[in-house]
Chains A and B, each alone.
Chain A
Amino acid sequence: MDNGQDMGVRVVRAGFIPLVDASVLIAAAEFGFAAREGIQLELVKDVSWANIRDRLAFRQFDAAHMLAPMPVASALGLGSNPSAVITPFTLGRGGNAITLSVKLYRRMQALTGLAGNEDALANAEALKRVIDDMKERGEPLPVLGTTYPFSSHNYELRYWLAAGGIHPDRDVKLVVVPPPMTSDALSAGAIDGFCVGAPWNMVAVAREVGRIVAVKEDIWPSSPEKVIGVRPEWADANPETLARLIVALDRAAAWCDVPDNRRVLAEILAEPRYIDAPVDILHRVLMGRFTTDPDGHERTVSDYFTFHRDGANFPWVSQAQWIFSQMVRWGQVDHSPDKQARVATAFRPDLYRHALGPRAGIPVADVRVEGGQRQDGFIDGAVFDPQDIPAYVKGFDVHNLENPAATRDEA
């Protein structure tokens, strides 16, 4: 029980999925940041986002490593267990990439003359030409894997495809593949590409079955990736524990951001109880040093993982609303002012400020125009103003507004 007097150790049980973007949570438990705040952080590894959601909802976990769209989906009553979840802390930016099979990429090269160092938009446009060619020949359309219906991967892959003129619900087939199985699925020909988190893109390249064609930074650098999710009633009943947890995560995130710490971090992440992947791949991923294809093309993305800098942990309400805009764009839900208001309650910058402020660098606003600055621009140059989501969504050439599948289910 949380009362202000009790200075003893508080146990916080947190679920996580073995991915590099769980680093801040793992570092908080492993390198003393939680202990310093009087928190005994017990981490429980899980296998699916559905389990994470349900075990948090059914009080098996106090907190959980979650996809940023999961609290938004909960606020909208989407999914098969939409229990209330809020996030007071974003675990950072970056980490995702889109990988296509070497075979599909070779075909893009043959048709459009790609040399191998083109940008993400050029790659999407080349894929569009291959898909047009496939349609003319009556071939089956490419099958692309993501991780979960309410995932950053789903919306990023759709955003990238659409920027290249490809309709994600008509021109390709989207399926869900558990990230650790993506390389096998690619080499078996069960899928032709995927968008998942680290380290699985680089693992596919290392196994010479995949070709990275875009990273998250190419699509929208400010895009939030994973968050810490908690039940609102747990947050209300344990304000002191939550504040300490946020402080511990903040310190751990700052530590993870230091390049010199990433070797030690990679060694911990490599252990079987965490990610269970080769330490050198994890270290290269953390440093953003990519081999993009089996031909040995190299690319360094200096901000592939931003754990702390530039307000990376601040839960912008406008980012929750951007996620909502993409759910509307793709027909998962229809827009209404009431729904937009509910979405705004899923991200809780007030809790972040309460635990860490006052401090320089913490934004005073909860909402901002996203993508307006050059350094956080969207791949297609669009600018997101949460004031008018319906107009923003209608501004896209490719969308699913005329065919809202989910709204019908809701009725």
Chain B
Amino acid sequence: MSAALTIMVFDENRIRASIIEEGLREAGHDRVVVLHDIVGLARQIERIAPDVIVIDIETPNRDMLEHLFQLSRSVRKPIAMFVDSSDTASIEAAVDAGVSAYVVDGLKKERVKPILDMAVSRFKAFSRLQQELAEAKSALEERKVVERAKGILMKSRTISEDEAYALLRQAAMNEKKKLADIAQSVVMAAAMLGS
């Protein structure tokens, strides 16, 4: 009896937007529109007339949307919310994840809640991904620097790779420092000594 909801995702971060879009489609919502650019947003909202707008809480463009809702006569009056506004824990989860939303007035809570819960979990998944990526990157960097330090030691002291590694590890243990930090010092010292 109730028609499918039209959901607009406004997020300047394209990857995150597509992660949310995918989640919504998997949940059976096929009327999902993703927008990345504030330019032309007003016209798009009038044209698409979304029931729900999911928006990144960290964008200052929320104030522009407020202006648009105030001015426009053709846009249906939306209500701002952070997921379920009666539940403190879920509000905190939404704010931590960085999600806010506008929902057309009068829409039933039980229809909107799963959409917003989905957005929150996808926003979270995205920041987890970003963190993992950052960690992987720094692990890769560390491995590279250890390789270079080993090479320097092998050459200057004519020792094997295993011996060079053992030397670095011993130094790290003695100095109570990370292996990568010791390796970094070796690389830097070598550069300064011109070897």
Q: List the B residue with the shortest CB-CB distance to A409.
A: B77
Of B22-30, B58-66, B138-146, B168-176, the stretch lying at the interface with chain A is B58-66
Interface residues of B, count at CB 8 A: 28
Contact of A55 with B79 in the complex, beta carbons under 8 Å: no
Contact with B along A387-411 (1 / 0, CB 8 A): 0000000000000000001101100
29 CB contacts below 8 A, A to B, read A47-B59, A48-B61, A49-B63, A50-B62, A50-B65, A54-B80, A54-B82, A54-B100, A55-B95, A57-B85, A58-B88, A58-B91, A78-B70, A79-B70, A80-B69, A80-B77, A147-B63, A148-B67, A149-B67, A149-B70, A150-B70, A175-B64, A175-B67, A176-B66, A178-B61, A178-B64, A406-B70, A408-B73, A409-B77
Contact of B63 with A176 in the complex, beta carbons under 8 Å: yes
The smallest beta-carbon distance between A156 and chain B, in angstroms, is 16
A-side contacts of B79, CB under 8 Å: 80-81
20 extra A-B contacts, CB within 8 A, seeds A80-B77, A148-B63, A405-B71: A48-B59, A48-B61, A48-B62, A48-B63, A51-B100, A57-B85, A58-B91, A59-B91, A78-B70, A79-B66, A80-B78, A147-B63, A149-B67, A175-B67, A176-B66, A178-B60, A178-B61, A332-B70, A408-B73, A409-B73
Complex A-B, nearest 3 residue pairs according to Cβ-Cβ distance, in ascending order: A178-B60, A176-B67, A149-B70
B residues in contact (CB < 8 Å) with A: 57-67, 69-71, 73, 77-82, 85, 88, 91-92, 95, 100, 102
A-side contacts of B69, CB under 8 Å: 80
Whether a CB of chain B sits under 8 angstroms from the CB of A7 is no
Q: A48-B60, A48-B62, A58-B85 are in contact. Are A81 and B67 (CB under 8 A)?
A: no
A-side contacts of B102, CB under 8 Å: 80
CB contacts under 8 Å to B, within A68-111, are: 78-81
Whether a CB of chain B sits under 8 angstroms from the CB of A181 is yes
Contact of B77 with A51 in the complex, beta carbons under 8 Å: no
B-side contacts of A175, CB under 8 Å: 64, 67
Interface residues of A, count at CB 8 A: 31
Q: How far is the CA of A115 from the CA of B82 in the complex (A)?
A: 52
Whether a CB of chain B sits under 8 angstroms from the CB of A60 is yes
B-side contacts of A57, CB under 8 Å: 85
Whether a CB of chain B sits under 8 angstroms from the CB of A294 is no
